[in-house]
Structure 1
């Protein structure tokens, strides 16, 4: 009798797990669409395509996307504009536009603070001059831009800490990590990531680095030569612009600790930085082109998209070991979003040319790619919405 009950309860538990549906929103940048993807534990599929933008003859480039902390709204940056980009606010479920606001040049990644109720979004300034750009601060109730805070050249990866009181972004070209006080709206710390990388102790990896491409060391040396000192002057008497060898493209925050994780796209590494001491505590050696990072809500896993290598890495944060390095469904891996129960990672894959965009679903308990959903061209920004039973 006891054995029978155990079997029955096991079947019920398995059935309940399979009945869970996971939903993510994904931007298709070259399609001017956002896809709603559903995953039932086995199969992933696009169940809705949401047209975005107002100029049918122009590609407006939906890029950054995030669901607000209460799950009632999702926000999308349209990168291209006339001349500036625009932030859109949509209602989840109905996916109706409920507000817009113009921002800076090429607005990209963003997040809403549960503490302040404000949205913080970087203006990447892809097509402008190589000069410091800004973080826009938006009141999402009125969809009003309150201010722009100057940071570095080509800012990206806009994320808040667990309290919602500190905002972090990186500047891709100038190679800096910025901390902003989310209430006072001013920069409180700046870290030179090229220098931080040199000082970082290396974490363990499952990979044998002795068998890696020996050209990487030569490439690193060449990039070091490319670094410029802001204090030096060019022949015209103007300050020269620094080109970071580290080339940071993303920053993610730990859910419970004062740690941030920065992707060094040019250095093939991720840095773990203690924001209490502003020192680098670990360096994770990755595959080529680490681009986006997400940390599981339980704080146990770090998932990194390797854009150049067309792979995704799954790391154990406690041991510092890479548990798996998985091939993605096609080339140009982009964004990562982990489910709220820390069980699955959803990875957007752009594709090349007329290839469809894709979302690969990775099981974080088995470290296997389970299924792939197809959507519009150049799948990029991705955000987790909800679990529904």
Structure 2
């Protein structure tokens, strides 16, 4: 039995129920999954792009209420599970990108207008995790999350996305998971999950600028740094530590600047555009932490008792709503929950996909089309 993120791939949820068949069930929950809703303007609503790891799909949801607008297959091998992992939208809103993590790791590029496939690039690395984009949308950084390497140094694929060509594949550290680009597009923070380190890269040359421990040396549990988020001014970045249930802050040169306790197994982290708030999905804690970045300090914890393994986080531009993906247990659907950040109120909840990992937000167009 193969494993993804330490969990077995669900071969069945009953007689004859494979993940692909599971995704074809529950017509009420998956209404309109194969095409746009007929009574909604297809391009105007704010959208969410959500990866479904066990069905090799990306689901497109209306961010206002979670209605499924369409489902897009990014399946390279029909008889295997390749696990769509990361998804991101360019700052100008013109393109979105997704990765296939296994089999033939691939970067997929789509136009947001009609969700048309522009091209795809097979990557010469064993795995592919999240996608970090420069603010101008010209370059992507895709870590090789190769946990099977058992500590062997791994790489980050640097891709010029206008023509989907590989600019560099530098060796960085063991099992990098996230390569977060700073707001100026000059520096990249790479989380090294197996070596408890963080690497700072130059975005232009892909050279390593610094490599340092994720925290003070400890004999017990690993820190396991997983995901990072930069402050809007680029002065610091915050990293989730899945092994210790913390978020640690660092200056842009790597100096420690604080730590906040959060729930168990924090996964993705996202910050508001104004720098006012950070939101963390606590994968093993079944909760969401809301942080004041200045400390950092946890100011609120929102329990999600019906959502197993919260994983991905995206925020609306106003920093008022958090969209949190949850993987679901073996043999169950995952999904997305929309929460008010200030109160924890659940605005909507949608079961969709299986092993629901990544999520990205696309702002809707105004009436003038701008």
Which bin holds the TM-score, normalised by the shorter protein? Answer: 0.7 to 0.9
Distance 1:50 1:116 in 2: 22
1:23 aligns with 2:47: yes
1:142-181 matches, cutoff 5 A: 142-181=163-202
Q: CA RMSD in A?
A: 1.8
Larger radius of gyration: 1
**Could you tell me whether the CA contact under 8 Å between 1:292 and 1:336 is conserved in 2?**
yes
Deviations 1:230-283 (A, max 9, x none): xxxxxxxxxxxxxxx11111111111141010111111111011124x321111
TM-score normalised over the length of structure 1: 0.79
1:294 equivalent among 266, 270, 273? 270
Alpha-carbon shift at residue 90 of structure 1 (Å): 1.2
1:284 aligns with 2:269: no
Match in the other structure for 1:59: 81
**Could you tell me whether the CA contact under 8 Å between 1:155 and 1:169 is conserved in 2?**
yes
Distance 1:79 1:21 in 2: 29
Alignment gaps of 5+ in structure 1: 1-19, 199-219, 224-244
Secondary structure at the residue paired with 2:130?
strand
Aligned residue pair count = 321
Q: Give the ranges of 4+ consecutive aligned residues of structure 1 lying more than 3 Å apart after TM superposition.
A: 126-129, 318-321
Alignment CA distance shift 1:288-1:129 (3 Å): closer
Deviations 1:178-199 (A, max 9, x none): 111111220101111132xx6x
Distance 2:272 2:101 in 1: 28
Secondary structure at the residue paired with 1:47?
strand
Distance 2:328 2:290 in 1: 21
1:250 aligns with 2:250: no
Distance 2:170 2:73 in 1: 31
Alignment gaps of 5+ in structure 2: 1-43
1:136 aligns with 2:112: no
Deviations 1:266-310 (A, max 9, x none): 11111011124x321111011111111111111011101110111
Distance 1:129 1:323 in 2: 37
Secondary structure at the residue paired with 1:37?
strand
Alignment CA distance shift 1:250-1:343 (3 Å): same
Match in the other structure for 1:372: 349
Distance 1:126 1:192 in 2: 18
Alignment CA distance shift 1:324-1:45 (3 Å): farther
1:1-389 matches, cutoff 5 A: 21-40=45-64, 43-81=65-103, 84-103=104-123, 104-115=125-136, 117-195=138-216, 222-223=220-221, 245-276=222-253, 278-318=254-294, 320-328=296-304, 329-389=306-366
Distance 2:300 2:235 in 1: 26
Match in the other structure for 1:213: none
Alpha-carbon shift at residue 319 of structure 1 (Å): 5.7
Deviations 1:55-83 (A, max 9, x none): 221111111111122211111111112xx
